Protein backbone atom coordinates (compact mmCIF):
# COMPACT_ATOMS: atom_id res chain seq x y z
CA UNK A 1 0.00 0.00 0.00
CA UNK A 2 1.67 3.19 -1.20
CA UNK A 3 0.53 6.68 -0.40
CA UNK A 4 2.31 9.97 -0.98
CA UNK A 5 2.30 12.19 2.10
CA UNK A 6 1.21 15.80 1.43
CA UNK A 7 0.99 17.38 4.87
CA UNK A 8 2.66 16.39 8.16
CA UNK A 9 1.71 17.52 11.63
CA UNK A 10 4.83 17.64 13.80
CA UNK A 11 3.84 16.74 17.35
CA UNK A 12 6.94 18.20 18.93
CA UNK A 13 8.82 21.42 19.60
CA UNK A 14 12.32 22.88 19.52
CA UNK A 15 15.18 21.75 17.34
CA UNK A 16 13.65 18.42 16.29
CA UNK A 17 10.51 20.12 14.95
CA UNK A 18 12.72 22.40 12.80
CA UNK A 19 14.78 19.36 11.73
CA UNK A 20 11.69 17.52 10.46
CA UNK A 21 10.33 20.67 8.75
CA UNK A 22 13.54 20.98 6.75
CA UNK A 23 13.34 17.52 5.20
CA UNK A 24 9.58 17.82 4.64
CA UNK A 25 10.12 21.07 2.78
CA UNK A 26 12.79 19.50 0.60
CA UNK A 27 10.30 16.77 -0.30
CA UNK A 28 7.56 19.31 -1.07
CA UNK A 29 5.51 18.29 1.96
CA UNK A 30 3.68 20.97 3.99
CA UNK A 31 4.15 21.05 7.78
CA UNK A 32 1.77 21.91 10.58
CA UNK A 33 3.21 23.05 13.92
CA UNK A 34 1.43 22.84 17.26
CA UNK A 35 2.68 24.95 20.14
CA UNK A 36 2.37 25.80 23.82
CA UNK A 37 1.83 29.40 24.95
CA UNK A 38 5.51 30.08 25.60
CA UNK A 39 6.55 28.65 22.23
CA UNK A 40 4.48 31.07 20.14
CA UNK A 41 7.59 32.83 18.81
CA UNK A 42 9.88 29.80 18.68
CA UNK A 43 11.69 29.14 15.37
CA UNK A 44 9.75 25.91 14.76
CA UNK A 45 6.47 27.84 14.82
CA UNK A 46 7.74 30.67 12.62
CA UNK A 47 9.23 28.13 10.16
CA UNK A 48 5.99 26.14 9.71
CA UNK A 49 3.41 26.32 6.94
CA UNK A 50 0.54 26.27 9.44
CA UNK A 51 0.62 26.61 13.21
CA UNK A 52 -2.04 25.99 15.85
CA UNK A 53 -2.03 26.77 19.56
CA UNK A 54 -2.40 23.91 22.02
CA UNK A 55 -3.77 26.40 24.58
CA UNK A 56 -1.64 25.62 27.57
CA UNK A 57 1.78 26.00 29.10
CA UNK A 58 2.76 22.62 30.56
CA UNK A 59 3.81 19.52 28.63
CA UNK A 60 0.74 17.68 29.89
CA UNK A 61 -1.63 20.35 28.56
CA UNK A 62 0.18 20.62 25.24
CA UNK A 63 2.70 18.27 23.62
CA UNK A 64 1.47 15.30 25.65
CA UNK A 65 -2.19 16.03 24.90
CA UNK A 66 -2.77 13.36 22.28
CA UNK A 67 -6.48 14.07 21.74
CA UNK A 68 -5.94 17.78 21.11
CA UNK A 69 -3.07 17.07 18.71
CA UNK A 70 -5.05 14.42 16.84
CA UNK A 71 -8.03 16.80 16.49
CA UNK A 72 -5.77 19.48 14.99
CA UNK A 73 -4.28 16.93 12.57
CA UNK A 74 -7.77 15.94 11.39
CA UNK A 75 -9.09 19.52 11.22
CA UNK A 76 -6.06 20.76 9.26
CA UNK A 77 -6.20 17.86 6.80
CA UNK A 78 -2.88 16.23 7.66
CA UNK A 79 -2.23 12.80 6.21
CA UNK A 80 0.70 12.06 8.54
CA UNK A 81 2.04 12.83 12.04
CA UNK A 82 5.72 12.85 12.95
CA UNK A 83 6.18 12.55 16.72
CA UNK A 84 9.89 13.48 16.89
CA UNK A 85 11.50 12.15 20.10
CA UNK A 86 10.21 12.30 23.67
CA UNK A 87 6.59 13.41 24.34
CA UNK A 88 4.23 11.05 22.43
CA UNK A 89 6.87 9.39 20.25
CA UNK A 90 6.95 6.12 22.18
CA UNK A 91 3.34 6.14 23.33
CA UNK A 92 1.69 3.10 21.69
CA UNK A 93 -1.79 4.43 22.54
CA UNK A 94 -1.12 7.57 20.54
CA UNK A 95 0.35 5.66 17.59
CA UNK A 96 -2.71 3.40 17.59
CA UNK A 97 -5.15 6.35 17.77
CA UNK A 98 -3.34 7.89 14.79
CA UNK A 99 -3.47 4.61 12.84
CA UNK A 100 -7.22 4.33 13.58
CA UNK A 101 -7.83 7.75 12.05
CA UNK A 102 -6.18 6.50 8.82
CA UNK A 103 -3.41 9.04 9.40
CA UNK A 104 0.14 7.79 8.81
CA UNK A 105 2.24 7.63 11.96
CA UNK A 106 5.83 8.32 10.87
CA UNK A 107 7.37 5.73 13.12
CA UNK A 108 6.98 2.06 13.89
CA UNK A 109 3.65 0.23 14.22
CA UNK A 110 2.03 0.69 17.65
CA UNK A 111 2.54 -3.04 18.31
CA UNK A 112 6.34 -2.68 18.03
CA UNK A 113 6.32 0.39 20.30
CA UNK A 114 4.28 -1.55 22.85
CA UNK A 115 6.60 -4.57 22.75
CA UNK A 116 9.77 -2.48 23.19
CA UNK A 117 8.21 0.19 25.44
CA UNK A 118 7.53 -2.28 28.20
CA UNK A 119 11.17 -2.65 29.19
CA UNK A 120 10.68 -5.87 31.12
CA UNK A 121 8.69 -7.48 28.29
CA UNK A 122 11.41 -6.31 25.87
CA UNK A 123 14.05 -8.00 28.04
CA UNK A 124 12.05 -11.24 27.82
CA UNK A 125 11.67 -10.85 24.05
CA UNK A 126 15.39 -10.24 23.55
CA UNK A 127 16.32 -13.05 25.85
CA UNK A 128 14.19 -15.40 23.70
CA UNK A 129 15.76 -13.99 20.51
CA UNK A 130 19.23 -14.84 21.90
CA UNK A 131 20.23 -11.19 22.23
CA UNK A 132 22.25 -10.92 25.48
CA UNK A 133 20.56 -8.92 28.28
CA UNK A 134 21.88 -7.46 31.55
CA UNK A 135 21.21 -9.68 34.61
CA UNK A 136 18.18 -8.45 36.59
CA UNK A 137 14.41 -8.75 36.92
CA UNK A 138 12.24 -9.87 34.02
CA UNK A 139 9.09 -8.48 35.70
CA UNK A 140 8.20 -5.02 37.06
CA UNK A 141 8.41 -4.34 40.80
CA UNK A 142 5.38 -3.07 42.67
CA UNK A 143 6.45 -2.40 46.24
CA UNK A 144 9.42 -1.54 48.39
CA UNK A 145 9.20 -4.92 50.16
CA UNK A 146 9.48 -6.66 46.81
CA UNK A 147 12.52 -4.67 45.77
CA UNK A 148 14.33 -5.16 49.06
CA UNK A 149 13.91 -8.94 48.64
CA UNK A 150 15.17 -8.94 45.07
CA UNK A 151 18.29 -6.87 45.65
CA UNK A 152 19.85 -9.54 47.83
CA UNK A 153 19.95 -11.83 44.77
CA UNK A 154 21.37 -9.27 42.36
CA UNK A 155 23.67 -7.42 44.76
CA UNK A 156 24.88 -3.83 44.79
CA UNK A 157 25.50 -1.62 42.94
CA UNK A 158 22.26 -1.84 40.96
CA UNK A 159 20.03 0.35 38.85
CA UNK A 160 16.34 1.03 39.32
CA UNK A 161 14.80 1.88 35.97
CA UNK A 162 11.41 2.92 34.63
CA UNK A 163 9.65 -0.04 32.99
CA UNK A 164 7.63 2.28 30.75
CA UNK A 165 10.18 4.93 29.91
CA UNK A 166 13.70 5.63 28.74
CA UNK A 167 16.21 8.38 28.23
CA UNK A 168 17.53 8.16 31.78
CA UNK A 169 14.36 9.55 33.39
CA UNK A 170 13.10 7.59 36.35
CA UNK A 171 16.48 5.91 36.73
CA UNK A 172 18.48 5.70 39.97
CA UNK A 173 21.74 4.01 40.86
CA UNK A 174 21.79 2.41 44.28
CA UNK A 175 25.04 1.55 46.04
CA UNK A 176 23.71 0.26 49.36
CA UNK A 177 20.59 -0.63 51.35
CA UNK A 178 20.50 2.79 53.03
CA UNK A 179 19.86 4.51 49.70
CA UNK A 180 17.35 2.00 48.43
CA UNK A 181 14.09 3.44 49.77
CA UNK A 182 14.69 7.06 48.66
CA UNK A 183 15.97 5.94 45.26
CA UNK A 184 12.99 3.62 44.77
CA UNK A 185 10.50 6.39 45.63
CA UNK A 186 12.30 8.97 43.47
CA UNK A 187 12.46 6.61 40.50
CA UNK A 188 8.76 5.83 40.88
CA UNK A 189 7.80 9.53 41.17
CA UNK A 190 9.97 10.62 38.27
CA UNK A 191 8.68 7.79 36.12
CA UNK A 192 5.07 8.62 37.02
CA UNK A 193 5.69 12.22 36.09
CA UNK A 194 7.53 11.57 32.86
CA UNK A 195 5.74 8.50 31.54
CA UNK A 196 2.48 8.30 33.52
CA UNK A 197 3.44 4.97 35.10
CA UNK A 198 5.34 4.14 38.27
CA UNK A 199 6.39 0.64 37.22
CA UNK A 200 10.10 0.12 37.72
CA UNK A 201 12.52 -2.80 37.44
CA UNK A 202 16.03 -3.66 38.58
CA UNK A 203 19.18 -4.41 36.63
CA UNK A 204 22.68 -5.19 37.78
CA UNK A 205 24.79 -2.07 37.48
CA UNK A 206 27.64 -2.73 35.06
CA UNK A 207 30.72 -0.91 36.30
CA UNK A 208 31.87 1.71 33.83
CA UNK A 209 30.61 0.31 30.54
CA UNK A 210 30.53 2.24 27.28
CA UNK A 211 27.21 3.16 25.69
CA UNK A 212 27.08 1.91 22.12
CA UNK A 213 23.94 1.98 20.01
CA UNK A 214 22.99 0.68 16.59
CA UNK A 215 20.92 2.63 14.06
CA UNK A 216 18.60 0.53 11.95
CA UNK A 217 16.14 1.22 9.14
CA UNK A 218 13.41 -1.28 8.43
CA UNK A 219 10.87 -1.03 5.59
CA UNK A 220 7.45 -2.64 5.28
CA UNK A 221 8.81 -5.13 2.73
CA UNK A 222 10.92 -7.02 5.25
CA UNK A 223 14.26 -5.30 4.63
CA UNK A 224 16.25 -4.33 7.71
CA UNK A 225 19.49 -2.37 7.35
CA UNK A 226 22.14 -1.53 9.95
CA UNK A 227 23.60 1.99 9.69
CA UNK A 228 26.58 1.61 11.97
CA UNK A 229 26.97 2.45 15.63
CA UNK A 230 27.06 5.60 17.69
CA UNK A 231 28.98 5.91 20.92
CA UNK A 232 27.17 8.01 23.57
CA UNK A 233 29.33 7.43 26.65
CA UNK A 234 29.76 11.09 27.62
CA UNK A 235 26.75 11.51 29.90
CA UNK A 236 25.61 13.48 32.92
CA UNK A 237 22.68 12.26 35.07
CA UNK A 238 22.59 9.14 32.84
CA UNK A 239 21.73 11.37 29.87
CA UNK A 240 23.87 11.83 26.79
CA UNK A 241 25.68 15.09 26.07
CA UNK A 242 28.24 14.09 23.43
CA UNK A 243 27.87 11.40 20.76
CA UNK A 244 30.01 10.19 17.90
CA UNK A 245 30.00 7.82 14.96
CA UNK A 246 31.81 5.56 14.49
CA UNK A 247 32.97 4.66 18.01
CA UNK A 248 36.71 4.74 18.61
CA UNK A 249 36.57 1.33 20.31
CA UNK A 250 34.58 -0.70 17.77
CA UNK A 251 36.53 -2.97 15.44
CA UNK A 252 34.99 -4.14 12.13
CA UNK A 253 34.37 -7.55 13.76
CA UNK A 254 32.55 -6.01 16.74
CA UNK A 255 30.59 -3.77 14.35
CA UNK A 256 29.31 -6.68 12.38
CA UNK A 257 28.41 -8.46 15.64
CA UNK A 258 26.34 -5.47 16.86
CA UNK A 259 24.74 -5.12 13.44
CA UNK A 260 23.60 -8.73 13.48
CA UNK A 261 22.16 -8.37 16.99
CA UNK A 262 20.40 -5.09 16.15
CA UNK A 263 18.77 -6.51 13.03
CA UNK A 264 17.75 -9.57 15.06
CA UNK A 265 16.18 -7.32 17.75
CA UNK A 266 14.27 -5.31 15.12
CA UNK A 267 12.92 -8.44 13.46
CA UNK A 268 11.90 -9.93 16.82
CA UNK A 269 9.44 -7.08 17.47
CA UNK A 270 8.20 -6.66 13.89
CA UNK A 271 9.89 -3.32 13.53
CA UNK A 272 9.27 -0.89 10.65
CA UNK A 273 10.85 2.60 10.27
CA UNK A 274 13.97 4.11 11.91
CA UNK A 275 14.96 2.68 15.28
CA UNK A 276 17.89 2.38 17.63
CA UNK A 277 19.03 -0.65 19.59
CA UNK A 278 21.07 0.41 22.61
CA UNK A 279 23.81 -1.74 24.09
CA UNK A 280 26.27 -1.51 26.94
CA UNK A 281 29.80 -2.67 26.18
CA UNK A 282 31.77 -3.87 29.20
CA UNK A 283 35.53 -3.66 29.68
CA UNK A 284 35.90 -7.16 28.15
CA UNK A 285 34.12 -5.93 24.99
CA UNK A 286 31.03 -7.99 25.72
CA UNK A 287 27.66 -6.54 24.62
CA UNK A 288 24.40 -6.40 26.56
CA UNK A 289 21.04 -5.25 25.19
CA UNK A 290 19.91 -2.14 27.06
CA UNK A 291 16.73 -1.09 25.27
CA UNK A 292 15.31 -0.27 21.90
CA UNK A 293 14.30 3.31 21.16
CA UNK A 294 11.40 3.08 18.76
CA UNK A 295 11.81 6.54 17.29
CA UNK A 296 14.25 9.00 15.79
CA UNK A 297 17.09 9.66 18.25
CA UNK A 298 18.36 13.07 19.33
CA UNK A 299 21.83 12.08 18.09
CA UNK A 300 20.72 10.78 14.66
CA UNK A 301 22.68 13.52 12.78
CA UNK A 302 26.08 11.88 13.46
CA UNK A 303 24.89 8.81 11.54
CA UNK A 304 23.55 11.03 8.75
CA UNK A 305 26.90 12.76 8.32
CA UNK A 306 28.93 9.54 8.29
CA UNK A 307 26.61 7.52 6.04
CA UNK A 308 25.26 10.35 3.85
CA UNK A 309 21.65 9.35 4.45
CA UNK A 310 18.85 11.70 5.55
CA UNK A 311 17.14 9.56 8.18
CA UNK A 312 13.99 11.71 8.30
CA UNK A 313 13.65 11.33 4.53
CA UNK A 314 14.03 7.55 4.92
CA UNK A 315 11.41 7.64 7.70
CA UNK A 316 8.93 9.42 5.41
CA UNK A 317 9.61 7.10 2.45
CA UNK A 318 9.19 4.02 4.63
CA UNK A 319 5.96 5.47 6.05
CA UNK A 320 4.71 6.00 2.50
CA UNK A 321 5.22 2.29 1.88
CA UNK A 322 8.36 2.46 -0.24
CA UNK A 323 11.06 -0.17 -0.09
CA UNK A 324 14.53 1.00 0.98
CA UNK A 325 16.48 2.18 -2.06
CA UNK A 326 19.77 0.86 -0.68
CA UNK A 327 20.90 -2.53 0.57
CA UNK A 328 23.34 -3.40 3.36
CA UNK A 329 26.29 -3.57 0.95
CA UNK A 330 25.64 0.06 -0.13
CA UNK A 331 26.08 1.27 3.44
CA UNK A 332 29.64 2.50 3.84
CA UNK A 333 30.92 4.85 6.54
CA UNK A 334 32.84 7.93 5.50
CA UNK A 335 34.87 9.84 8.08
CA UNK A 336 33.82 10.68 11.63
CA UNK A 337 31.07 12.82 13.12
CA UNK A 338 30.66 14.22 16.64
CA UNK A 339 27.64 15.88 18.23
CA UNK A 340 27.65 18.22 21.23
CA UNK A 341 24.29 18.90 22.81
CA UNK A 342 23.95 22.52 23.80
CA UNK A 343 21.75 22.43 26.91
CA UNK A 344 20.62 25.40 29.01
CA UNK A 345 22.40 24.03 32.06
CA UNK A 346 25.23 25.30 34.21
CA UNK A 347 28.01 22.68 34.18
CA UNK A 348 29.78 24.51 37.03
CA UNK A 349 26.65 24.17 39.15
CA UNK A 350 26.15 20.41 38.83
CA UNK A 351 24.39 20.81 35.45
CA UNK A 352 21.41 22.54 37.01
CA UNK A 353 18.96 23.86 34.43
CA UNK A 354 19.40 27.55 33.65
CA UNK A 355 16.41 29.64 32.61
CA UNK A 356 15.98 33.11 31.16
CA UNK A 357 15.93 35.08 27.94
CA UNK A 358 18.58 34.29 25.35
CA UNK A 359 20.16 37.72 24.91
CA UNK A 360 22.82 36.67 22.42
CA UNK A 361 22.84 33.80 19.95
CA UNK A 362 25.61 33.22 17.46
CA UNK A 363 26.10 29.58 16.42
CA UNK A 364 29.22 28.27 14.68
CA UNK A 365 29.45 28.14 10.91
CA UNK A 366 31.84 26.96 8.24
CA UNK A 367 33.06 23.77 6.58
CA UNK A 368 31.91 20.54 8.17
CA UNK A 369 29.59 22.20 10.69
CA UNK A 370 25.90 21.52 11.19
CA UNK A 371 23.81 23.34 13.78
CA UNK A 372 20.34 21.95 14.53
CA UNK A 373 18.83 24.65 16.71
CA UNK A 374 15.44 25.33 18.22
CA UNK A 375 16.14 28.78 19.61
CA UNK A 376 17.06 32.32 18.59
CA UNK A 377 17.99 35.55 20.35
CA UNK A 378 15.00 36.81 22.34
CA UNK A 379 13.66 33.31 23.02
CA UNK A 380 12.78 32.60 26.66
CA UNK A 381 13.99 29.30 28.14
CA UNK A 382 11.51 28.18 30.80
CA UNK A 383 11.65 25.38 33.34
CA UNK A 384 8.67 23.69 31.66
CA UNK A 385 10.54 21.66 29.03
CA UNK A 386 13.73 19.76 28.39
CA UNK A 387 16.62 22.27 28.37
CA UNK A 388 18.05 21.23 24.96
CA UNK A 389 18.65 24.42 22.93
CA UNK A 390 20.58 23.12 19.96
CA UNK A 391 22.87 20.38 18.67
CA UNK A 392 26.25 21.18 17.21
CA UNK A 393 27.40 18.44 14.85
CA UNK A 394 30.71 18.33 12.98
CA UNK A 395 32.13 16.01 10.35
CA UNK A 396 35.83 15.27 9.80
CA UNK A 397 37.69 12.92 7.45
CA UNK A 398 38.97 11.12 10.55
CA UNK A 399 38.38 11.30 14.31
CA UNK A 400 41.17 13.73 15.13
CA UNK A 401 40.04 16.13 12.39
CA UNK A 402 36.49 15.93 13.75
CA UNK A 403 37.76 16.73 17.27
CA UNK A 404 39.82 19.68 16.01
CA UNK A 405 36.82 20.98 14.10
CA UNK A 406 34.58 20.61 17.15
CA UNK A 407 37.12 22.52 19.26
CA UNK A 408 37.04 25.31 16.68
CA UNK A 409 33.23 25.25 16.44
CA UNK A 410 32.79 25.42 20.23
CA UNK A 411 35.17 28.36 20.37
CA UNK A 412 32.87 30.21 17.94
CA UNK A 413 29.55 29.22 19.50
CA UNK A 414 28.31 32.13 21.63
CA UNK A 415 25.15 32.14 23.73
CA UNK A 416 24.33 34.81 26.31
CA UNK A 417 21.48 35.05 28.81
CA UNK A 418 21.53 31.45 30.00
CA UNK A 419 24.37 29.19 31.12
CA UNK A 420 25.03 26.38 28.64
CA UNK A 421 26.99 23.14 28.26
CA UNK A 422 29.36 24.77 25.73
CA UNK A 423 32.24 25.08 28.27
CA UNK A 424 31.71 21.46 29.34
CA UNK A 425 31.82 20.20 25.75
CA UNK A 426 34.96 22.26 25.24
CA UNK A 427 36.52 20.61 28.29
CA UNK A 428 35.74 17.15 26.89
CA UNK A 429 37.09 17.94 23.41
CA UNK A 430 40.42 19.02 24.94
CA UNK A 431 40.67 16.16 27.44
CA UNK A 432 43.39 13.61 26.65
CA UNK A 433 41.18 10.66 27.61
CA UNK A 434 38.51 11.69 25.13
CA UNK A 435 41.08 12.40 22.45
CA UNK A 436 42.66 8.94 22.97
CA UNK A 437 39.26 7.22 23.05
CA UNK A 438 40.00 6.07 26.60
CA UNK A 439 36.71 6.73 28.39
CA UNK A 440 33.37 5.20 29.48
CA UNK A 441 30.09 6.44 30.98
CA UNK A 442 31.89 7.48 34.20
CA UNK A 443 33.83 10.21 32.35
CA UNK A 444 31.98 13.13 33.98
CA UNK A 445 32.38 11.81 37.55
CA UNK A 446 35.96 10.75 36.98
CA UNK A 447 37.38 13.69 35.06
CA UNK A 448 35.01 16.66 35.18
CA UNK A 449 33.71 16.75 38.74
CA UNK A 450 37.19 16.19 40.17
CA UNK A 451 38.73 18.71 37.82
CA UNK A 452 41.45 20.94 39.24
CA UNK A 453 40.34 24.56 39.08
CA UNK A 454 40.68 26.01 35.61
CA UNK A 455 44.21 26.14 34.31
CA UNK A 456 43.28 28.93 31.92
CA UNK A 457 45.76 31.72 31.59
CA UNK A 458 45.55 34.68 33.95
CA UNK A 459 45.22 37.13 31.07
CA UNK A 460 41.88 35.68 30.00
CA UNK A 461 40.59 35.80 33.56
CA UNK A 462 41.64 39.43 33.75
CA UNK A 463 39.84 40.11 30.47
CA UNK A 464 36.68 38.47 31.83
CA UNK A 465 36.96 40.54 35.01
CA UNK A 466 37.38 43.78 33.09
CA UNK A 467 34.33 43.06 30.93
CA UNK A 468 32.23 42.47 34.03
CA UNK A 469 33.55 45.59 35.78
CA UNK A 470 32.81 47.55 32.60
CA UNK A 471 29.16 46.45 32.31
CA UNK A 472 28.68 46.98 36.03
CA UNK A 473 30.01 50.52 35.65
CA UNK A 474 27.68 51.15 32.70
CA UNK A 475 24.76 49.91 34.74
CA UNK A 476 25.56 51.99 37.80
CA UNK A 477 26.95 55.27 36.54
CA UNK A 478 24.53 58.16 36.09
CA UNK A 479 23.90 58.38 32.35
CA UNK A 480 22.36 61.18 30.31
CA UNK A 481 18.55 60.73 30.35
CA UNK A 482 18.30 59.81 26.67
CA UNK A 483 20.55 56.76 27.10
CA UNK A 484 18.88 55.61 30.30
CA UNK A 485 17.55 52.10 29.93
CA UNK A 486 14.66 50.64 31.85
CA UNK A 487 16.86 48.25 33.81
CA UNK A 488 19.24 50.98 34.78
CA UNK A 489 16.71 53.03 36.70
CA UNK A 490 17.08 51.32 40.06
CA UNK A 491 20.85 51.34 39.95
CA UNK A 492 20.79 54.96 38.88
CA UNK A 493 18.64 55.81 41.87
CA UNK A 494 21.14 54.06 44.11
CA UNK A 495 23.94 56.22 42.90
CA UNK A 496 21.90 59.42 43.28
CA UNK A 497 21.24 58.33 46.83
CA UNK A 498 24.95 58.08 47.44
CA UNK A 499 25.62 61.55 46.15
CA UNK A 500 22.97 63.25 48.29
Partner 1 sequence: MKKVDNQVNTFVTRVDDLQCEWTFVDNRTILLNGKEVNAVIEKVAESEISLLLDGKFYHIILTESATGYIALINGEAYQVEIVNPLLNKFEEIVGQASSLQHPDEIRAPMPGLVVKREVKEGENVKAGQGIVILEAMKMENEVKSPKTGIVQKLFVQDHQIVEKGEVLALIL
Q: Based on CB atoms, which residue is closest to partner 1, 76 or 355? A: 355
Q: Can you tell me which of 260, 359, 397, 433 binds partner 1, judged by CB under 8 A?
A: 359
Q: Can you tell me which of 360, 432, 436, 486 binds partner 1, judged by CB under 8 A?
A: 360
Q: Least CB distance from residue 23 to partner 1, whole Å?
A: 27
Q: Least CB distance from residue 419 to partner 1, whole Å?
A: 6
Q: Least CB distance from residue 348 to partner 1, whole Å?
A: 6
Q: Based on CB atoms, which residue is closest to partner 1, 323 or 468? A: 468
Q: Least CB distance from residue 460 to partner 1, whole Å?
A: 6
**334 is an interface residue for partner 1 by CB under 8 A:** no
Tell me how long the chain is.
500
Q: Can you tell me which of 75, 138, 414, 484 binds partner 1, judged by CB under 8 A?
A: 414
CA-nearest of 104, 106, 103, 100 to 19 is 106
- The bridge status of strand 7-10 relative to strand 30-35 is parallel
* Catalytic residue selected from 114, 210, 255, 295: 295
Q: Can you tell me which of 416, 431, 447, 448 binds partner 1, judged by CB under 8 A?
A: 416
Q: Based on CB atoms, which residue is closest to partner 1, 277 or 425? A: 425
**60 is an interface residue for partner 1 by CB under 8 A:** no
- CA–CA gap between residue 369 and residue 366 (Å, rounded): 6
Q: Based on CB atoms, which residue is closest to partner 1, 177 or 470? A: 470
Q: Least CB distance from residue 197 to partner 1, whole Å?
A: 15
Crossing angle for the helix pair 311-319 and 14-26, nearest 10 degrees?
70
Q: Least CB distance from residue 468 to partner 1, whole Å?
A: 4
**176 is an interface residue for partner 1 by CB under 8 A:** no
Q: Least CB distance from residue 484 to partner 1, whole Å?
A: 15
Number of residues that bind partner 1 (CB under 8 A): 68
Question: Three-class SS string for the chain?
Answer: CCCCCCEEEECCCHHHHHHHHHHHHHCCCEEEEEECHHHCCCHHHHCCCEEEECCCCCCCCCCCCHHHHHHHHHHCCCCEEECCCCCCCCCHHHHHHHHHCCCEECCCCHHHHHHHHCHHHHHHHHHHCCCCECCECCCCECCHHHHHHHHHHHCCCEEEEECCCCCCCCCEEECCHHHHHHHHHHHHHHHHHHHCCCCEEEEECCCCCEEEEEEEEECCCCCEEEEEEEEEEEEECCEEEEEEECCCCCCHHHHHHHHHHHHHHHHHCCCCEEEEEEEEECCCCCEEEEEEECCCCCCHHHHHHHHCCCHHHHHHHHHCCCCCCCCHHHCCCCCEEEEEEEECEEHHHCCEECCEECCEEECCCCCCEEEEECCCCCCEECCCCCCEEEEEEEEECCHHHHHHHHHHHHHHCEEECCCCCHHHHHHHHHCHHHHCCCCCCCHHHHHHCCCCCCCCCHHHHHHHHHHHHHHHHHHHCCCCHHHCCCCHHHHHHHHHHHHC
Q: Based on CB atoms, which residue is closest to partner 1, 243 or 386? A: 386
- Residue 221, φ and ψ in degrees, nearest 5: -105, 10
DSSP-assigned beta bridge partners for residue 368: none
**352 is an interface residue for partner 1 by CB under 8 A:** yes
Q: Based on CB atoms, which residue is closest to partner 1, 323 or 494? A: 494
Which of these segments, 109-117, 119-127, 366-374, 405-413, binds partner 1 (CB under 8 A)? Answer: 405-413
**486 is an interface residue for partner 1 by CB under 8 A:** no
**423 is an interface residue for partner 1 by CB under 8 A:** yes
**235 is an interface residue for partner 1 by CB under 8 A:** no
**189 is an interface residue for partner 1 by CB under 8 A:** yes
Is 255 among the residues known to form the active site?
no
- CA–CA gap between residue 457 and residue 80 (Å, rounded): 54
**397 is an interface residue for partner 1 by CB under 8 A:** no
**245 is an interface residue for partner 1 by CB under 8 A:** no
Q: Based on CB atoms, which residue is closest to partner 1, 327 or 459? A: 459
Q: Can you tell me which of 56, 321, 333, 353 binds partner 1, judged by CB under 8 A?
A: 353
Which of these segments, 72-80, 378-386, 396-404, 443-451, binds partner 1 (CB under 8 A)? Answer: 378-386
Q: Residues 438 to 477: which contact partner 1 by CB under 8 A?
A: 453-454, 456, 458-474, 476-477
**59 is an interface residue for partner 1 by CB under 8 A:** yes
Q: Based on CB atoms, which residue is closest to partner 1, 74 or 468? A: 468
- On the CB side of 412, how many CA atoms lie within 13 Å of its CA? 14
Q: Give the active site residues.
A: 295
Which positions lie near partner 1, rule CB under 8 A?
A: 59, 169, 182, 186, 189-190, 193-194, 237, 346-349, 352-356, 359-360, 383-387, 407, 410-419, 422-423, 425-426, 453-454, 456, 458-474, 476-477, 490, 493-495, 497-498
Amino acid sequence: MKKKIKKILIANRGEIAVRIQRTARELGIATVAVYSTNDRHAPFVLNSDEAYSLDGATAKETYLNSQKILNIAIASGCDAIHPGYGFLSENPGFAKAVEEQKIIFIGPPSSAIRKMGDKTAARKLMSNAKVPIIPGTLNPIKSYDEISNIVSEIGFPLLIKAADGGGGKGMRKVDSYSELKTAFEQAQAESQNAFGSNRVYVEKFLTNPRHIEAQILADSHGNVIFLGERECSIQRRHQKVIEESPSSVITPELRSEIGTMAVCAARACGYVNAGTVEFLLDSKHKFYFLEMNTRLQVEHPVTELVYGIDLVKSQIQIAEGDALVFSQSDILPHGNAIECRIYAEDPENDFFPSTGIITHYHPSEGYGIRNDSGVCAGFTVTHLFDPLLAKLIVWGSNRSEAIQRMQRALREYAIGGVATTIPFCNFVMKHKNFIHGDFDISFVEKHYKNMESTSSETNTRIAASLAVAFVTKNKTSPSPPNSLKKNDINRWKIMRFEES
